[in-house]
A and B are shown apart, each in its own frame.
Chain A
């Protein structure tokens, strides 16, 4: 059974204080690992897909990296508008369904 564990559950940062969110996973043959951002009262918004160990993707202050067992979402010099819940999900080869973690709730304080 595929499993995704995200840590920490919650993270509070000062504006400009860089940090990383962790996503540990077990999957029988990784097809893709996805990162999403979810704002309160809204659906998850797609950020990145990573396919293989060593891959990196960047978007503004966010950078996602992937190893064979975990993924990190690095946030550089965050701003208050980066406050949201960040979700990680994995998809196994040969399957349409995706398994989600429970998310990290990020709060960035001005």
Chain B
């Protein structure tokens, strides 16, 4: 079974802090994704990575950056946290889409910015 592990289930941070969310997958997937999920808005893609050190912006990249130094690990960074970044953050991974492979998700990090 695919295992996608997010480092924290719940996190509380202060406005202006630099926040790191970590994600690790154990299936040797090339692709990794960061989403945020908000009521009524669904899942929105922040960034994704299709290889080590490669990244592409998703639909809402503003205020975020990412890092992928190793194939199994993908980090989301909130450069200067703001209250409108309070949300559920979900990490996912998959093989390249040429094989019609679905994304597999972690259980999320519920982040509150005070």
Contact = CB atoms under 8 A, between A and B. Distances in A.
**Count class of interface residues, chain A:** 20 to 34
**Count class of interface residues, chain B:** 20 to 34
Contact of A45 (B58, B97, B100, B105): B105
B42 A100 contact: yes
A98 interface: yes
Contact of B102 (A46, A97, A101, A103): A46
Nearest to B6: A43
Nearest to A44: B105
A29 interface: no
Contacts of B105: 36, 43-45
A23 interface: no
Contact of A42 (B31, B40, B102, B107): B107
A31 interface: yes
Given A42-B107, A43-B105, 4 more contacts: A87-B42, A96-B56, A97-B33, A100-B42
Interface of B: 4, 31, 33, 40-43, 45, 48, 50, 56, 58, 90, 92, 96-97, 100, 102-108, 110
